[in-house]
Amino acid sequence: MRRILILGGGTGGTLVANRLRRALPGDEAEITVVDQDDRHVYQPGLLFVPFGLADPDEITRPRHRQLHPGITFRCAGIQRVDVGAETVLLDDGTAIGYDVLVIATGARLVPEETEGLNAGGWPDGVHTFYTPAGAASLRDALARFDGGRIAVNVIDMPIKCPVAPLEFCFLADWYFQEREIRDRVELTYVTPLDGAFTRPVASAKLAGLLADKGVELITEFNTGSIDTTGSPGRLVSWDEREVPFDLAVVIPLHGGAQYVTRSQGLGDELGFITVDQHTLQSAAAPNVFAIGDATGVPASKAGSVTHFEGEVLVENILRFLAGKLLDASFDGHANCFIETGFGKALLIDFNYDTEPVTGHYPAPVGLPLLKQSRLNHLGKLMFQSFYWHGLLPGRDIPGIGSAMPMRGKSGLADGRASTTTAAGSKRAS
Partner 1 sequence: MPTATYAGHEVLVSDDGFFTDPGQWTEDMAPQIAKGEGIDHLTEQHWQVIKFMRHEYEDKGTGPTVRVLGKTSGVSIKELYQLFPKGPAKVAAKVAGIPKPRGCI
Q: Which distant-in-sequence residues (6+ apart) come within 8 Å of 183 by Cβ? A: none
Which residue stretch of 16-24, 218-226, 279-287, 363-371 sits at the interface with partner 1 (rule: CB under 8 A)?
A: 218-226
Name which of 311, 350, 314, 312 is nearest 328 in CA terms.
312
419 sits near partner 1 (criterion: CB under 8 A): no
Which of 224, 368, 390, 393 touches partner 1 by CB under 8 A?
224
Q: Which alpha helices (DSSP H) does 2-124 contain, by range?
A: 11-23
Which of 27, 180, 269, 414 touches partner 1 by CB under 8 A?
269
238 sits near partner 1 (criterion: CB under 8 A): yes
Which residue stretch of 119-127, 138-146, 153-161, 353-361 sits at the interface with partner 1 (rule: CB under 8 A)?
A: 153-161
Ordered DSSP codes for 48-77: GGGGTS--GGGGEEESGGGSPTTEEEEE--
Which of 14, 43, 198, 335 touches partner 1 by CB under 8 A?
198
Count Cβ atoms within 10 A of the Cβ of residue 75 and give its class: 0-12 exposed, 13-18 middle, 19 or more buried. Answer: middle
156 sits near partner 1 (criterion: CB under 8 A): yes
Contact call for residues 19 and 393 (beta carbons, < 8 A): no
CB of 145 or CB of 197, closer to partner 1: 197
57 sits near partner 1 (criterion: CB under 8 A): no
Total site size for partner 1, rule CB under 8 A = 19
Q: Which distant-in-sequence residues (6+ apart) come within 8 Å of 415 by Cβ? A: none
201 sits near partner 1 (criterion: CB under 8 A): no
Question: In the 3-class helix/strand/coil scheme, how is 283-319 assigned residue by residue?
Answer: CCCCCEEECHHHECCCCCECHHHHHHHHHHHHHHHHH
217 sits near partner 1 (criterion: CB under 8 A): no
267 sits near partner 1 (criterion: CB under 8 A): no
Which of 25, 69, 120, 298 touches partner 1 by CB under 8 A?
298
Which residue stretch of 85-93, 193-201, 335-343, 406-414 sits at the interface with partner 1 (rule: CB under 8 A)?
A: 193-201
Smallest gap, in angstroms, from Cβ of residue 27 to partner 1? 42
Count Cβ atoms within 10 A of the Cβ of residue 353 and give its class: 0-12 exposed, 13-18 middle, 19 or more buried. Answer: middle
CB of 238 or CB of 419, closer to partner 1: 238
Which residue stretch of 66-74, 116-124, 142-150, 157-165 sits at the interface with partner 1 (rule: CB under 8 A)?
A: 157-165
Which residue stretch of 13-21, 26-34, 219-227, 397-405 sits at the interface with partner 1 (rule: CB under 8 A)?
A: 219-227
220 sits near partner 1 (criterion: CB under 8 A): yes
How far apart, in whole angstroms, are the C-alpha atoms of residue 128 and residue 337?
21
The residues of the shown chain that bind partner 1, judged by CB under 8 A, are: 156-158, 162, 193, 198-199, 220, 222, 224, 238-239, 253, 268-270, 298-300
